[in-house]
Amino acid sequence: MPLELVTIPCLADNYAYLIHDPETGETAVVDVPEPGPILAALNAHQWRLTDILITHHHDDHIQGVETLRTATGAMVLGAAADAHRLPRLDLALTEASSFSIGQEFAQVIDVPGHTLGHIAFYFPQSGLAFTADSLMAGGCGRLFEGTARQMHASLQKLAALPPETLICSGHEYTTSNLRFAATVDPDNPALQARITDTAAKRAKGQPTVPSTLATELATNPYLRAHLPALKAAVGLPKADDATVFAEIRARKDKF
Ligand code: ZN
Ligand code: FE
């Protein structure tokens, strides 16, 4: 049986996610921007939290971890490389690690770029990828620590997952991400359709996450730097993909 997924809006524009194995009752949260909405969701479902999964060290992803750990006794899992700047880890992860939530194995994917120790969690059986501030809906995270080349390589790893994979990212930035995407990919009908769909969801107060990898491949400019149309749009028709990616990312910073 696949894991059940619950999307939880937190703070102004963050998301946390619950995943629950109905067979064993094990439940994990991915990132803890604040404890209140997560405890409320656990209570509403009558689920017991067993694991806290951390994607990266930024406050808006970890600041509720200690409260949640104390309230639930859940184990805390995060990147070994960032153990010095994460809450105390019960399990320190590398890309070679695997762990399970209930009966389902998870894979750890290193996705440096936004931060150097950023990791993603991939659950192949349920087709879920928790990408936080690496691959985002219609965009990618800002390069605070890593290089554009690192982020490009990180996104290429995620792009190779099955297209039906649900991309569970960390923020509700989709509207502005897509507005920027249209400036470098103006003749893409899938992008125009996504802009319309996103506006309708936001008008109803609905989250635009998770998305599918297929949607991201069709509309996210950071996964499309290899295409002649995008290379031409940023004035780099002959440049390699990583160079075009870097130019797109730099333009977003000034957008
Ligand atoms: Zn972040
Ligand atoms: Fe963030």
Query: Among 20, 31, 51, 56, which one carries the catalytic annotation?
Result: 56
For 87-127, give the DSSP string.
SPPSEEE-TT-EEEETTEEEEEEE--SSSTT-EEEEETTTT
Is-contact 182 195, C-beta < 8 A?
A: yes
- 226 labelled catalytic: no
The SS3 assignment for 69 reads helix
Token pair of 185 as six digits? 């990919």
**Residue 32, pLDDT score:** 98
Q: What is the distance between the alpha carbons of residues 150 and 87, in angstroms, rounded to a whole number?
A: 25
Residue type, 252: K
Q: What are phi and psi of 81, to 5 degrees?
A: -60, -25
Query: Among 61, 82, 118, 185, which one carries the catalytic annotation?
Result: 61
**Residue 158, pLDDT score:** 98
What is the value of pTM for the model shown? Answer: 0.98
Q: What is the distance between the alpha carbons of residues 63 and 254, in angstroms, rounded to a whole number?
A: 29
Q: What are phi and psi of 78, to 5 degrees?
A: -165, 180
Radius of gyration of the chain (CA): 18
- 118 labelled catalytic: no
* Chain centre to alpha carbon of residue 245: 18
Neighbours of ion ligand 1 (CB under 5 A): 58, 133
Domain count, the chain: 1
- 133 labelled catalytic: yes
Angle between helices 65-72 and 35-45 (to 10 degrees): 30
- How many Å lie between the centroid of ligand 2 and the Cα of residue 236? 30
- How many Å lie between the centroid of ligand 2 and the Cα of residue 212? 20
- pLDDT by 10s per residue, the chain, length 255: 899 999 999 999 999 999 999 999 999 999 999 999 999 999 999 999 999 999 999 999 999 999 999 999 999 999 999 999 999 999 999 999 989 999 999 999 999 999 999 999 999 999 999 999 999 999 999 999 999 999 999 999 999 999 999 999 999 999 999 999 999 999 999 999 999 999 999 999 999 999 999 999 999 999 999 999 999 999 999 999 999 999 999 999 999
Strand-pairing partners, residue 9, are 15
**Residue 68, pLDDT score:** 98
Q: Which ligand has an atom closest to residue 56 CA?
A: 1
- How many Å lie between the centroid of ligand 2 and the Cα of residue 142? 9
The candidate with the shortest Cα–Cα distance to 249, out of 176, 175, 149, is: 149
Q: Which ligand has an atom closest to residue 171 CA?
A: 2
Q: Which ligand has an atom closest to residue 169 CA?
A: 2
- How many Å lie between the centroid of ligand 2 and the Cα of residue 168? 13
Structural domain containing residue 191: 4-254
- How many Å lie between the centroid of ligand 1 and the Cα of residue 133? 5
In which element (H, E) is residue 29 found? strand 26-30
Q: What is the CATH number of the domain that holds 206?
A: 3.60.15.10
